[in-house]
Amino acid sequence: MKYTKLGRSDLTVSRICMGCMGFGDAAHGQHTWTVDEESSRAIIRRGLDLGINFFDTAIAYQSGTSEQYLGRALRDFARREDVVVATKFLPRTNEEIEAGVSGQEHIRRMLDKSLENLGMDYVDLYIYHMWDWQTPMEDIMEGLNNAVKAGKARYIGISNCFAWQLCRANDFAAQEGYAQFVSVQGHYNLIFREEEREMAPFCRMENIALTPYSALAGGRLSKHPGETSKRLAEDSYARLKYDGTADEDAPIIRRTAEIADRRGVSMTEVAIAWLLTRVTAPVVGATKVSHVEGAAKAADLVLTPEEIAYLDEPYVPHPLAGVMAQNTPAAARAAHVWSTGSQTI
């Protein structure tokens, strides 16, 4: 495993981040394809054995049971100081807004609940899961700064935002002497590259880490054409993101399979190796031990410039998809992204 610094922070992270959305009690969440605690523990333990020290979860994942599974496994298999744990908080609910709960109080409550779920005194990275249009940005940034000052979060990150939002928030934080976002978790992979327009160059300039989710496009970049899986069949959110551009994406998926076959490696390794040429640490989900083994191998695969260009060439611009398509005041209100199932991403 290879390691790097997470942006401007002093956190040393593995180049592969284990995404924990696939862990959790399926009876207490919206995903039917998640795995139970015993299976989660085996995957986490194997990841640790392979050198993965960076783990990403969220309070939204299966009603907090993902956090619970991860916390218990790490207590049993690792020393707290040897791992980097990230979790995420949701925007305020409509009920909280009506009750007058401020953004700062909301963040305090959410973080305390996540720490309880994890069984930890602090998280290394606390992530703003999606932009909250009904809460002033200034209130959010002060709440996050309070979490850092209290020692409950070492650093803060953001997910599902536009570059202008990140720039505005960090400029405000710098002006006030608050903690700034050190990482961005956006939607970025071989078949969805819209982050390259503004976010990626901005983050390079500012030394902000890119830790994208959906590294394998919900499994599409790990399966030969015609192959299927439980995740592909049951993940309605991934279908929402990718079904509309399946025809445009098919040539890239075929080229990924072609390079994998020629190199004698998995498609997973090729897709993640490509992403590792552009980001700090992709968040790679796993619901089987073999998934994390494939992801770890990718850290050692070096694609040639010709292979990278061959993968790059067929891409065409895509419309925004998933939660980012809802990242406007009107769309967010219409979709109720913070109070319905679409909040779990």
Torsion of CA 325, 329, 212, 229, to 10 degrees: -40
Q: What is the pLDDT of residue 23?
A: 94
**CB-based contacts of 262: which residues, under 8 Å, 6+ apart?**
none
What's the number of CA atoms in the CB half-sphere (13 Å) around residue 167?
Answer: 12
Give the model's pLDDT for residue 344.
Answer: 37
List, for the chain, all residue ranges whose pLDDT scores fall below the cut of 70: 28-30, 229-238, 322, 324-345
Question: Is 61 a residue of the active site?
Answer: yes
Q: Could you give the CA distance from residue 66 to residue 88 in angstroms, rounded to a whole number? A: 12
Q: 61, 213, 237, 242: which is the annotated catalytic residue?
A: 61
Q: What is the set of domains in the chain, with CATH numbers? A: 3-343 (3.20.20.100)
Instruction: Give the pLDDT confidence score for residue 200 in this predicted structure.
Output: 97
Instruction: Give the Cα separation of 303 and 277 in Å (integer).
Output: 9
Residue-level pLDDT at 232: 61
Q: What digits encode the pLDDT tens for the residues 191-243?
A: 999 999 999 999 999 999 999 999 999 889 998 877 776 666 666 666 777 87
pLDDT at 3: 98
Residue 320's identity, in one-letter code, is L
Query: What tokens appear for 291 in the block?
Result: 């998934």
**C-alpha pair distances (Å), 63 with each of 24, 31, 32, 81, 113:** 8, 11, 13, 26, 11
Q: Tell which residue, 133, 139, 138, has the closest CA to residue 160.
A: 133
Predicted pLDDT at 342: 38
Q: What is the pTM of this model?
A: 0.91
